[in-house]
Structures are given as C-alpha cells and as structure tokens.
Amino acid sequence: MPLMCLPGENIRIIFHVDMDSFYSSVEVAANPSLKGLPVVVGSDPIKGEGRGVVSTCSYEARKYGIHSAMAISKAYRLCPDAVYLRVNMPLYKKVSSNIMEILKGYSSKFQQVSVDEAYLDVSDLVQDYDEAENLALRIKEEVTLREGITCSIGVAPNKSIAKIASDYRKPDGLTVVLPGEVERFLYPLDVSRISGVGKKTSIILNEMGIRTIGDLAVYDVQVLRERFGKFGLVMHQLANGIDGRTVMERGDVKSISKEDTFDRDTSDMVYVEGVIDVLSENVHGSLLKKKYLFKTVTIKVRLEDFTTYTRARTLGAYSSDLSAIKRTAKALLQEFRGRGRLRLVGVGVTKLEKMDEKQSRLSDFF
Ligand code: TTP
Ligand code: MG
C-alpha cells in the first residue's frame, strides 16, 4: 500500500528486532534435545536451593509462571522438572554478535540496544510497508536459519512504536503498525508498554487515572510535566506516537571530558572546585546519554604559565556515580594548591564500559 505523506514530512520505516527468550533459545539451539522443554537460565540454580535469580526462561517455562528476575528457588517450586542451566555469557555474546552482523547486512542505519535487540531504519531500502513486511520476514528467516533461534520484529514509523510492536506478538512475531494505524494500535495498550515507564511510574499514572496509552495521550501535558519533569513531556509525546529519535550506531567512545578556561586566572580553590562540580555534572550527563560506566576519573589543569598537567585515578569498580566523579576530581586537584594561579581546569572519565541497557533506557530521551 502506498504511503500517505504530507509535503515536507518524511515517513520512516523502523524495525525493532528482539530475540525470543534469548539466553534459553541459544541454549536450546546448542542442545536440540532441550527443544520443547521448560528451560530456565539463571545464576546459582543448584536444584532450587540456590539464591540466584532467573535471567530468562523458555516460553514453555513461562506457562508455569516463571519469568526473568524471579528467585530461582521460586521458579523451582513452580516447575521442579524444568531444565535449570547456568548463564553462559560468552556463548550468548558470540551468538548475539553473529545476529548483529546479519542485521547490519540489511541496513547501515543499525543500532544495537542490548545483547538481543536492535533497531534498523529501512526507509531508504523499501518503497512501502508491504515491502517492509517482506523484508522483515526475510530477516526472521535468516536469523532462524543461521542461528537456530527465533525473533520478533516490530515495523513502525518510529523507534518507540516499533519496540512496542516487536513485543506485541511474541514469540516468532511480526507486527506492522502503519502510519495511519498508530492511534488504533497504541491507545488500548497499557501505559507500562512505553519504554521507560516502569513499575513506579505506572503506579503513579494509575493513581492519576491513566491506565492506557490512550489515557496518557489525551492527558494534560502541563500536569504531566509538573509531576514527572521532562519525562512527563516525553511520555506524552510517545503516547501520541511522536518519537523523532534516529537509528544510529554509536561509535566506540574512549573517553568523555569537559573543560573550562576561566575568565581570569585564579588561585581561589573554592571557585575551582565549584567549576569542577559543574564540569563533572556535564560529563556525567554525557555518560548517561551515551550509556557508559566509567572506571577512571581524570583532571586536566593548566597553570597561568600554560604548563598543563593531567592526573588520573582509577576506582575499584565501574561506576555511574556522579559524586564519585566530583570527589575524585577534587582529590586530584589537591596537588595544585599553592602552585600559583590556574588558567583552565578539565574533568574527564575513561576506561568506559557499556552500561546494561536495561538500566538506562530512560536516559535515552534526555
Ligand atoms: P529480553 O529481551 O527482555 O527477554 P528474552 O529475550 O529472554 O525474552 P523475550 O522473548 O520476552 O524477549 O532480555 C534479553 C536477555 O537479557 C534475556 O534472554 C536474558 C537477559 N535478561 C536478564 O539477564 N535479566 C532480566 O531481568 C532480563 C529482563 C533479561
Ligand atoms: Mg528478547
């Protein structure tokens, strides 16, 4: 069907591809005798005595009420006969990277968002949503043929709707939401389907009388802003099917830093520490946006004679903590006390590691 398009408006076609019960599907593909059985993957399974949690489980196991993040002991009570397996991350990472390579082969506008999901912008590759649907079927076939696991794909005019659509008919699903059908698709769904609307937000929204995405879409945006800040506005837009985010592969970021040259050279360390606070906040903001954790904090100091120093301190573990940046940067600054006036100060973080996407979905919007 041809696309209806207003002058100046670009209708995009975005795929969200998400593997079905990923860890357990990979286990089944590696050991076909598990096919059709309830399979639970988690830490510390030891015959239901362990203290770990379920990472995921096969759809057969889900029939018993087992789900991700449930205590393994509870899963064991629900289904003692399930196959319990330890997490084998290297295997899942290998299969994940094979699948991401397959997906990248379809469009250069590709963005991996977690170990088992990615967006593709196929707007330039197909003429219309019919062709897009055929392309999605081809991708599903290729993933199954090459890696032995199924995935679900949502096809829609933007990322948010595509993500909701991929989850709509799982497993092995394909849901196409045409631009003209966005409202009809979104409005009846529970607000918790919107990415970033977790349990706590859902409870507050429910208390405000907002249960469905449709309720949210027509709610007074000013009230949402007052209650949730900027995310109130974002939620309202997403509920109305508005999401301008592009599909972009993020480059490999090695470090993030910000610096400031003072209007006038200064030896006032209270003032310099204030600048360090602001720079740390900026660095931290970028870090969240780019979804990285850091392990090393650096500072840069330029004295009035232009001699420039960098200092670094590595923490014991990866962190996303703003106060750790501020504290470490200020500790590193101490050696420059009494060294004359400072011309510039900078704060940075290095040794970056991709954050677990599930922790950071909200930050995507800011
Ligand atoms: P999901 O895509 O959320 O779940 P899934 O692929 O297992 O199942 P679905 O068919 O509903 O998409 O997460 C991908 C993988 O991330 C999952 O296989 C295991 C891991 N994971 C955890 O380790 N803990 C969790 O709480 C969740 C939700 C996922
Ligand atoms: Mg999945």
Would you kindly state where each structural domain of the chain is located, as residue ranges? Answer: 22-88, 187-249, 255-363
Please report the atom of ligand 1 found closest to the CA of residue 59.
Answer: 10
Mean pLDDT of 155-165: 98
Name the residue with the closest Cα to ligand 1, atom 20: 55
pLDDT at 169: 96
117 assigned to active site: yes
Q: If one looks up domain 255-363 in CATH, what number appears?
A: 3.30.1490.100
d(CA 354, CA 333): 28
* Distance in Å, CA 22 to ligand 1 centroid: 6
* Distance in Å, CA 25 to ligand 2 centroid: 10
Concatenating the DSSP letter of every residue in 294-346 gives EEEEEEEEEETT--EEEEEEEEEEEE--HHHHHHHHHHHHGGGTTS--EEEEE
What crossing angle do the helices spanning 221-228 and 199-207 adopt, rounded to 10°?
130
pTM exceeds cut of 0.75? no
Count other C-beta atoms under 10 Å from residue 17's C-beta.
Answer: 28
* Distance in Å, CA 139 to ligand 2 centroid: 16
Mean pLDDT of 49-77: 93
Q: How many percent of the chain have pLDDT more than 90? A: 81
Order across the sheet with 54-57: list the strands. Answer: 54-57, 39-42, 83-85
pLDDT at 119: 97
Given a cut of 80, is residue 355 above it in pLDDT?
no
Please report the atom of ligand 1 found closest to the CA of residue 171.
Answer: 10
d(CA 296, CA 352): 8
Q: Given the residues 27, 60, 117, 147, select the one marked as catalytic.
A: 117
- Give the CATH fold of the 22-88 domain: MutS, DNA mismatch repair protein, domain I (3.40.1170)
With respect to CATH, is domain 187-249 assigned 1.10.3720.10?
no
Token representation of residue 339: 């060294």
Mind listing the pLDDT tens digit for each residue in 243-294?
988 897 655 567 899 999 898 999 999 999 999 999 999 999 999 988 889 9
Mean pLDDT of 38-48: 84
Mind listing the pLDDT tens digit for each residue in 169-228?
999 999 999 999 999 999 999 999 999 999 999 999 999 999 999 999 999 999 999 999
Name the residue with the closest Cα to ligand 1, atom 7: 21
Please report the atom of ligand 1 found closest to the CA of residue 54.
Answer: 24
d(CA 52, CA 44): 5
No. of H helices and E strands in the chain? 14, 12
Q: String of b and e for 249-288 (b: at least 16 CB within 10 Å)?
A: eeeeeeebbbbeebeeebeebeebeebbeebbeebbeebb
Residue ranges lining ligand 1, Cβ < 6 Å = 18-23, 55-56, 68-69, 115-116, 170-171
Count other C-beta atoms under 10 Å from residue 31's C-beta.
Answer: 12
d(CA 298, CA 349): 6
Token representation of residue 112: 């991996």
d(CA 69, CA 292): 23
Residue pair 256/292 in contact (Cβ under 8 Å)? The answer is: yes
